[in-house]
Amino acid sequence: MYRASFEPTAPGVYRYYAVFSSDNEETWVSSEENSVTVYQSNADTEPPAAPALGGLLEESGRASLSWTADDESIAGFDIYRQSVTDAVYRKIATVAKEARAYTDFTVNNDTTYTYKVAAFDQAYNRAFSEPQTVTPRLVMIDVTLRLHLPDYTPTTDDITIAGGLQWLERVVDQADGAERRDHTRGRGILVQDDGGQVDSV
C-alpha cells in the first residue's frame, strides 16, 4: 500500500487522485478522484505581517527572489507570478516558513514578469508583499585578461583561448596614447608591453 499526504495553504476544495505506471512510464493508470474541503476558522482572522520582497536583478533564464519576514505566526510562503499574457497572478510554488529566497527557472528571456510573496499562518490568513517586476535578459559582460609572459615571448605571437568565447576585443595602446581596437573571432591576440605583460586581450 502506498501513502501520500499534502497540506493545504488556503481554504477551498482540493481534488486529488493517484497515477502509476508499471511499464517504465509507457502508459499510466489513474485512480478514482476524491476531494476534500478546507474551511477557514473564524476564531483567528488576523493575518501575519506582510513579507518585504526586495528588488529583482536582471538575469538570464531565471528570476531570483528574496524577502524579509519576522512574524513568528508565519507557517509558510506562497510565491505568485503574473506575466504579460496572464490575466491574474498564478501560484507557482510554496516554500517553508524558514525560506527567505526562491529562484524561478521557468521564465523566458525578454518576457516581463511580476511577482508577489504571500505569508500565511495555520489559520490560512495571508498577507501579500508589494509586487516586484523583472524582465530576464541575456546579460553581456566585458572581460579583460591580464597575463604575465616570459620576456623572450615574441610580441607577434598569437594565443588561442579555449572555451566558448565568441568575440574578443584587443586594445592596443599606441605610442601617441591613442587606442586601436581590433576584433577577432574565437581567439585573442596578445599585445606585450615593455614589462613582458600582456596589456589586454
The full set of domain ranges for the chain reads 52-134, 147-198
Q: Is 3.40.50.11260 the CATH number for 52-134?
A: no
Q: SS3 sequence, 171-200?
A: EEECCCCCEEEEEECCCEECCECCCCEECC
Amino acid identity of residue 31, one-letter, is S
Rounded CA-CA distance 39/43 in Å is: 12
What is the residue-level pLDDT of the chain in tens, covering all 201 positions? Answer: 788 888 888 899 999 999 989 999 999 999 999 999 999 888 999 999 999 999 999 999 999 999 999 999 999 999 999 999 999 999 999 999 999 999 999 999 999 999 999 999 999 999 999 999 999 998 777 777 777 777 777 777 776 666 555 544 444 444 444 444 444 443 344 444 444 434 443
**Under 8 Å CB-to-CB from 177, ≥6 apart: which residues?**
none
b/e map 20-56, b = 16+ CB within 10 Å:
eeeeeeeeeeeeeeeeeeeeeeeeeeebbebbebeeb
Amino acid identity of residue 12, one-letter, is G
pTM for this model (two decimals): 0.65
